[in-house]
Structure 1
Amino acid sequence: MTGYIEPAPHEFAANYLFDANGLAPFFAADSRVKTGGGSQRSEFCDRGERWTVTLYYQDSNVVHPGSRLPTGTEWRLDEMREFRLKVKRHSEEDPVGQQSFNAHITPRWQGMKVEKSDGTVSDYSVPQGIHEAVNVKIQGSNVAFHRYIHILQSAALAVGIRADYFEEPHEYSNVQDAERYVRVREDASGPVHSREGPIASMGHLLESDRQGYRKVVQNDDDDHGRNLPGYYHTVTLGPRRIREAFPGHALPKEIKHYFAREALSQGEDSPLAHPKVGASYQVSRWDEKLGVTPEELDQLERELDQTVLSVLADAGLDIAPLEGSGPFVPDAYFAAETILDTPEPIGLDLTHIRSTQESVVIRHLVDGLSPVQWESLQTLVTDGGVVSPADIADEHGRHVESVRRALRGIEDLVVREYAKVSLRSSYVAELVHDAVQEAQEAIRRAAETGAKAIRVAEQGMEETMGVFIAWAARHGIDVNDALSRREARMQLRVGEAGRDTRRAIKEGFRIWREAGLPTERFRMAQLQFSNGGVSDVWRYLNPG
């Protein structure tokens, strides 16, 4: 069995809701703070490690309920406070001083009110089913995700609060942020953040071209304006896009390559001179939640680790070094060690995704697009705002149902959600943009030819004729200037006779008819081949 490098925990934030003992933990914190003259300090051990804890209070924006809560519980506190536990690894064991967390203890009860900064008072939404409870918001770093609740219990006990108050998180408890990372040698991490690397490719290929969270950050200058390639590169993928790259994953994530702010001032032997590659959970990118049960935390750790390892492997880094730490740099919290139960990396077949998207665009262009489909794509690549089928219909004077039908025919190019339309990815957007530009250039060239321009103007078909001219440009077919003379026979100059020419002519005939142009004029056109031969279009429209 292969062992892979094990990522380390970095940031973590979660709301732990405890209702088994109502508001007892809150009252206990208040009592201990008053006993200690405003705070309590202590030390404790957890799994053989030394930790320090400080219990203190802060002002609260919860409106004082009076002598009794709406739930009926008597309230004997004169002033509203909230409480915090500041928990840190002992400085003798953590000289860097960044293995710590803060636990913010706030009350919850049905009918609770809060005062906003402008003085207005509003109801605070407490989930149905919660009578009275405390919420403990934990924000920490460099602590294993599973350990927070156990260290919280030990910390509470150390300052005189019962540990069992924090044993059973309610099912509404949820994770807000979490990251796992590795540290990579600066001279080895380039393929991760390069323009063709996995971070840029995932953003380019897997994100809709106009989703609100579409963001591929590629910042190569630090906060002081000094150039540092790969300083801060990230891509964020929602649940649907994440599944395209990582089958079996459900959690939205941000994948990033980043340096510390002070990286350029560090010596080669300092871990901070080398970047981190990490994956973090993005709670704001979906409508679901991730709880804090052991099973859910296992899923969180597995998905984040697998994401990091897969990105590294796609960039060509050795994620299973047999000797030493390979391309990895250990730091105070990342051991740069391989273990056997690290999840197997997933092969990121980004080249296949790129090829598939190219083939989809090419197929639609070769098969031909209806005028409404072509108009829709033109709008999507030129309008930078939110676009709906109704917007497209209004812009081109179409019925909205015609636009919807047209969009259904190109669903592998576009994404339709909640009356919004976008191109399937930034890469698809680029390909379509190029096609639209090519067609517009063809129209421009045609318009510059007076005879064709006159003909188009006479028919009042600037837009629909543009689709036909774009077809001609795509297949390298020159439409003779005789279009300007009603009595003249249209001539199409093509390449060599053959199946490709037959398919192209049939496609052109379909576009011509859909544009409402005279059928017989196209059928009676003359074909002129590059070798000097001639034929009639109608011969190429017959079966065979």
Structure 2
Amino acid sequence: MTGYVEPVPHEFAANYLFDANGLAPFFAADSQVKAGGGSQCSEFYDRGERWTVTLYYQDSNIVHPGSQLLTGTEWRLEEMREFRLKVKRHEEEDPVGQQSFNAHITPRWQGMKVEKRDGTVSSYSVPDGIREAVNVKVQGSNIDFSRYLQLLQSAALAVGIRADYFEEPHEYSNVQDAERYVRVHEDASGPVHARDGPIASMGHLLESDRQGYRKVVQNDDDDHGRNLPGYYHTVTLGPRRIREAFPDHSLPKEIKHYYAREALSQGDDSPLAHPKIGASYQVNRWDEKLGVTSEELNQLEHELDQTVLSVLADAGLDVAPLRGTGPFVRDTYFEVETTEDGPDPIGLDLTHIRSTQESVVIRYLVDGLGPVQWESLQTLVTDGGEVSPANIADEHDRHVESVRRALRGIEDLVVREYAKVSLRSTYVAELVHDAVQEAEEAVKRAAETGAKAIRVAEQGMEETMSVFIAWAARHGIDVDDALSRREARMKLRVGEPGRETRRAIKEGFRIWKEAGLPEERFRMAKIRFRDGGLSDAWRYLNPG
């Protein structure tokens, strides 16, 4: 095997609009259904494969136009119907029965009206430039995207409808859904859906905390409430943010790690016991459209495949196995084949993005932030709605221009667009949130320090004791109130054990002695760490 593993098609949906022959395809479908007494069934071959097709009808909510359309065409049909072609790979060649599609054929004409469920009637919007046409909505699975049009033509011909009716899709035709996937062994897929894996990281790092679209799902329980790590993990990103990871991509996508509903009831030798990793096109996440031309379908396949391969590679999986199937598992439609014609995976570089965002936040905190900048950040990390500079100004009784100037000074932290402001990513938001909380805690500690200093003074202790209180506040060390109870053992609550803690405690001991306080009292102090661990102060005062 050479090259990279090749993802395979899963779901696909598209609207094919045909106007070259007006309503002729619709009338032909009606005629053939009536000739067959309500349906037509047939078989055909495509690329040596055996397929079945059934033409049938369904009721329609399109309002009967009378004897003549507004376009002038005579309408001789008494009933309003719509038609469907059910196309499947023959069961002898596809025992699973999941390689199939359904084509829904509906008419379009200027002035068309539809009746809603509540009985009200409204006009149906037909694009300008379309006089009469048919729309064929195709929904299928496990078929190459580029094959649907040819299969539609062959299926139509098999039930007596001219194939050339479906040769030239109108430029308004568009893709609605598409997914490409691979199946990975359950023992190998963990790094993909891990909390710090590529799926979670893309949602965490690549999206503004308020702007654009981000959806992260991390569900580890199946539909029956049974725990299955990675059962359904997805991240959905709009086109702007997807380009941060894939600079040459333009299509919004969902990246998924998911199991079949019945996965836990399958044996290890069943493909369904192992998860799929896929990428799917998300039409609702942008205002543009993806057409059905060969070039556009190639772009779709390229972007989806490169996304899948890059996610796998980022998680450390071998995407070019030289022997056997590597971390992949065969199923009926995924043969674990490699190709040198597909796209190369690209480095997502999420670690670099994380480090860069951390550096930006740290730099601003070290350099110092102005009062208005701090107030703006406080609002952004605590307000869950849409935030504008005016909102921030109103909340803190500032002039809106002062807020705008403050925001311009921290442009690496925030995104400003259309009178709205947000933090640059969810990760930046969390870092800033922690910084804001730390600042608030520092103010609280300062107030507590002042109160302790007053108590110390009231107790007649030396003035230098206030220096010790300031030392504790500076290092975030909580000194137990045993200062006022001389018979009690002093307690110091600190952060993490290590070199910095040792240095801080030695400094505190020096200040304690300069205050003229009993050395033994400090040396015998009990140290409690943030994680619950315990130690004695004297252990940190010995050389080393």
Q: Once the 2 structures are TM-superposed, how far is the Cα of residue 248 of structure 1 from its aligned partner?
A: 0.5
User: Cα deviation per residue 1:156-212 (whole Å; 9 max; x = unaligned)?
Assistant: 000111000000001111111000000000111111111111111111111122347
CA distance in 1, matches of 2:438, 2:209: 20
CA distance in 2, matches of 1:401, 1:114: 52
CA distance in 2, matches of 1:474, 1:302: 57
Q: Once the 2 structures are TM-superposed, how far is the Cα of residue 430 of structure 1 from its aligned partner?
A: 0.7
User: Cα deviation per residue 1:211-242 (whole Å; 9 max; x = unaligned)?
Assistant: 47422111111110111111011111111111
**Residue in structure 2 matched with residue 131 of structure 1 by the alignment:** 131
Pairing 1:403–2:408 present: no
Pairing 1:444–2:413 present: no
Contiguous gaps of at least 5 residues in structure 1: 455-471, 479-528, 533-544
Q: 1:340 to 1:442 in 2, by over 3 A?
A: same
**Residue in structure 2 matched with residue 67 of structure 1 by the alignment:** 67
Secondary structure class of the residue paired with 1:320: coil
**Residue in structure 2 matched with residue 347 of structure 1 by the alignment:** 347
Q: Once the 2 structures are TM-superposed, how far is the Cα of residue 407 of structure 1 from its aligned partner?
A: 2.1
**Residue in structure 2 matched with residue 182 of structure 1 by the alignment:** 182
CA distance in 2, matches of 1:349, 1:20: 48
CA distance in 1, matches of 2:10, 2:410: 43
Secondary structure class of the residue paired with 1:329: coil
**Residue in structure 2 matched with residue 371 of structure 1 by the alignment:** 371
Note if contact 2:51-2:90 (Cα within 8 Å) is conserved in structure 1: yes
**Residue in structure 1 matched with residue 528 of structure 2 by the alignment:** none
Partner AA of 2:285 in structure 1:
R
Note if contact 2:212-2:241 (Cα within 8 Å) is conserved in structure 1: no
User: Cα deviation per residue 1:365-390 (whole Å; 9 max; x = unaligned)?
Assistant: 12222222211111111112222222
Secondary structure class of the residue paired with 2:346: coil
CA distance in 2, matches of 1:474, 1:339: 62
**Residue in structure 1 matched with residue 268 of structure 2 by the alignment:** 268
**Residue in structure 2 matched with residue 225 of structure 1 by the alignment:** 225
Q: Once the 2 structures are TM-superposed, how far is the Cα of residue 418 of structure 1 from its aligned partner?
A: 3.1
Secondary structure class of the residue paired with 1:215: strand
Pairing 1:147–2:147 present: yes
Secondary structure class of the residue paired with 2:70: coil
Q: 1:302 to 1:474 in 2, by over 3 A?
A: farther
Note if contact 1:103-1:138 (Cα within 8 Å) is conserved in structure 2: yes
CA distance in 1, matches of 2:152, 2:473: 66
Note if contact 1:218-1:232 (Cα within 8 Å) is conserved in structure 2: yes
Q: Once the 2 structures are TM-superposed, how far is the Cα of residue 406 of structure 1 from its aligned partner?
A: 2.2
**Residue in structure 1 matched with residue 499 of structure 2 by the alignment:** none
Note if contact 2:16-2:169 (Cα within 8 Å) is conserved in structure 1: yes
User: Cα deviation per residue 1:391-417 (whole Å; 9 max; x = unaligned)?
Assistant: 222211222333233222222212233
Q: 1:328 to 1:147 in 2, by over 3 A?
A: same
CA distance in 1, matches of 2:355, 2:91: 53
**Residue in structure 1 matched with residue 311 of structure 2 by the alignment:** 311
User: Cα deviation per residue 1:254-310 (whole Å; 9 max; x = unaligned)?
Assistant: 101000000000011100000000000011111111100000000000000000001
CA distance in 2, matches of 1:123, 1:399: 49
CA distance in 2, matches of 1:14, 1:290: 10
1:333-482 equivalences under 5 Å are 333-449=333-449
Note if contact 1:447-1:453 (Cα within 8 Å) is conserved in structure 2: no
Q: Once the 2 structures are TM-superposed, how far is the Cα of residue 120 of structure 1 from its aligned partner?
A: 1.3
User: Cα deviation per residue 1:114-160 (whole Å; 9 max; x = unaligned)?
Assistant: 11111111111111111111111111000000000000000000011
CA distance in 1, matches of 2:379, 2:331: 50
Q: 1:84 to 1:453 in 2, by over 3 A?
A: farther
CA distance in 1, matches of 2:350, 2:430: 17
Contiguous gaps of at least 5 residues in structure 2: 455-470, 478-509, 514-544
CA distance in 1, matches of 2:476, 2:210: 34
**Residue in structure 2 matched with residue 252 of structure 1 by the alignment:** 252
CA distance in 1, matches of 2:417, 2:17: 34
**Residue in structure 1 matched with residue 293 of structure 2 by the alignment:** 293
Note if contact 2:372-2:403 (Cα within 8 Å) is conserved in structure 1: yes
TM-score by length of 2: 0.82
Partner AA of 1:10 in structure 2:
H
CA distance in 2, matches of 1:115, 1:424: 46
Pairing 1:281–2:281 present: yes
**Residue in structure 2 matched with residue 8 of structure 1 by the alignment:** 8
Q: State which drifts further: 415-424 or 98-107.
A: 415-424
Aligned length: 466
Pairing 1:78–2:66 present: no
Q: 1:452 to 1:131 in 2, by over 3 A?
A: farther
**Residue in structure 1 matched with residue 207 of structure 2 by the alignment:** 207
Secondary structure class of the residue paired with 2:154: helix
CA distance in 1, matches of 2:30, 2:476: 84
CA distance in 1, matches of 2:407, 2:473: 22
**Residue in structure 1 matched with residue 542 of structure 2 by the alignment:** none
CA distance in 2, matches of 1:64, 1:416: 51
Partner AA of 1:323 in structure 2:
R
Partner AA of 1:381 in structure 2:
V
CA distance in 1, matches of 2:157, 2:449: 87
User: Cα deviation per residue 1:498-520 (whole Å; 9 max; x = unaligned)?
Assistant: xxxxxxxxxxxxxxxxxxxxxxx
TM-score by length of 1: 0.82
Q: State which drifts further: 206-215 or 151-160.
A: 206-215
1:33-48 equivalences under 5 Å are 33-48=33-48
Note if contact 1:86-1:103 (Cα within 8 Å) is conserved in structure 2: yes
**Residue in structure 2 matched with residue 508 of structure 1 by the alignment:** none
CA distance in 1, matches of 2:202, 2:296: 26
Q: 1:405 to 1:109 in 2, by over 3 A?
A: farther
Q: Once the 2 structures are TM-superposed, how far is the Cα of residue 250 of structure 1 from its aligned partner?
A: 0.7
Secondary structure class of the residue paired with 2:161: coil
Note if contact 1:57-1:84 (Cα within 8 Å) is conserved in structure 2: yes
CA distance in 2, matches of 1:325, 1:150: 32
Note if contact 2:99-2:143 (Cα within 8 Å) is conserved in structure 1: yes
**Residue in structure 1 matched with residue 164 of structure 2 by the alignment:** 164
User: Cα deviation per residue 1:339-366 (whole Å; 9 max; x = unaligned)?
Assistant: 1112111011111100110111111112
Secondary structure class of the residue paired with 1:431: helix
CA distance in 1, matches of 2:362, 2:2: 41
Partner AA of 1:83 in structure 2:
F
Note if contact 2:212-2:240 (Cα within 8 Å) is conserved in structure 1: no
RMSD value, Cα: 2.4
Q: 1:415 to 1:2 in 2, by over 3 A?
A: farther
Q: 1:398 to 1:336 in 2, by over 3 A?
A: same
**Residue in structure 2 matched with residue 302 of structure 1 by the alignment:** 302
**Residue in structure 2 matched with residue 507 of structure 1 by the alignment:** none
**Residue in structure 2 matched with residue 483 of structure 1 by the alignment:** none
**Residue in structure 2 matched with residue 465 of structure 1 by the alignment:** none
